[in-house]
Amino acid sequence: MTAPPSGAAPVAGCSVFPADDYWHADVSTLPVDPRSATWLAHMSTDVDLHPDFGGPYGIPVTVVRRTHPRVHVGFDSAAESDHVRYPLGRDTRIEGGRASTGDRHAIVVDRDRCTLYETWATTFAHGRWHAGSGAVWSLRSDRLRPDGWTSADAAGLPILPGLLRWKEVRSDRIDHAIRFTTDATSAAHLWPARHDAGTGPITALPPMGARFRLSASYDATGLSTYAQRVVAAMKTYGLVLADNGSPWFFQGEQNPHWPADLVADLKTIPASAFVAVDTSSLEVDPDSGQSRAVR
């Protein structure tokens, strides 16, 4: 594994997990997973990638101070959620807006404590906050959730480290894998994922946590400079399967500054140019996201 660039873009002054974390692992030289061809055969590789951000789309990130009021949140998946008070309020931005019928993710970073709070199916009604599930992480730690627990994502992973952010693309400081979805997944998960939400066998369908790398031979010469930077990240850090959804949709933050030509260029990257890589050699501890150096 190579360390992220020294100028890796933080969020509100906080590094997004340690430099040795799985999300930052360079997978450019890892071997192809022996199940790659089988998984890809069930993943609609006849389509191009779809950047699920740009314009009004994307997953917003709310930044707060430690003094922000904390509230109780009720959860549908109460047994697998973190029961702390969450810094939610009128300023909390929810994916798709509060009236959305979509995933309604809320991602909040406490910039003073470098703590990440994420919820899914987030609602506020009759003076009460409710969500499908909720999870909390220290951005300074590699610690994973208990195995078998969900998060705001089906994989039980944090969403924030897998989001493309305009600031890091603009300054050429992308240092992490990118979150993506597909429609058919297995009833299994691979480290560091902690949870799965599929129905098929891992011998046929991709598991949560599977990592996919863009071929080094993919030619991005005709794409915009910004798009070439994203392509380089996909070749170096790859994509992480984190949730069920539309095939080959990958996520970024909601930001009005995303260039339209960048988004258009990213829609031309073929899914068929990816392979699944074997990340088993990176694992140091099954309960930690720390990654071993690639040799």
State both tokens at 39: 């998984």
In the prediction, which pLDDT does 8 show? Answer: 67
Instruction: Report the distance separating Cα 95 and Cα 121, nearest Å.
Output: 9
pLDDT at 287 over 90: yes
pLDDT tens-digit readout, 142-160: 999 999 999 999 999 999 9
Residue where the block lists tokens 């990257």: 269
Instruction: Report the distance separating Cα 177 and Cα 211, nearest Å.
Output: 9
User: With pLDDT > 70 as the criterion, what percentage of the chain qualifies?
Assistant: 97
Asked whether the beta carbons of 171 and 7 are under 8 A apart, the reply is yes
CA 225 to chain centroid? 23
Whole-prediction pTM value? 0.95
Ramachandran angles phi, psi of 95, nearest 5°: -55, 125
pLDDT tens-digit readout, 230-273: 999 999 999 999 999 999 999 999 999 999 999 999 999 999 99
Asked whether the beta carbons of 164 and 174 are under 8 A apart, the reply is yes
Asked whether the beta carbons of 142 and 17 are under 8 A apart, the reply is yes
Nearest to 156 by CA among 287, 51, 250: 287
Instruction: Report the distance separating Cα 153 and Cα 242, nearest Å.
Output: 6
In whole numbers, what is the pLDDT of the chain averaged over residues? 95
User: With pLDDT > 90 as the criterion, what percentage of the chain qualifies?
Assistant: 95
pLDDT at 295 over 70: no
State both tokens at 264: 């258009």
pLDDT at 7 over 70: no
pLDDT tens-digit readout, 194-234: 999 999 999 999 999 999 999 999 999 999 999 999 999 99
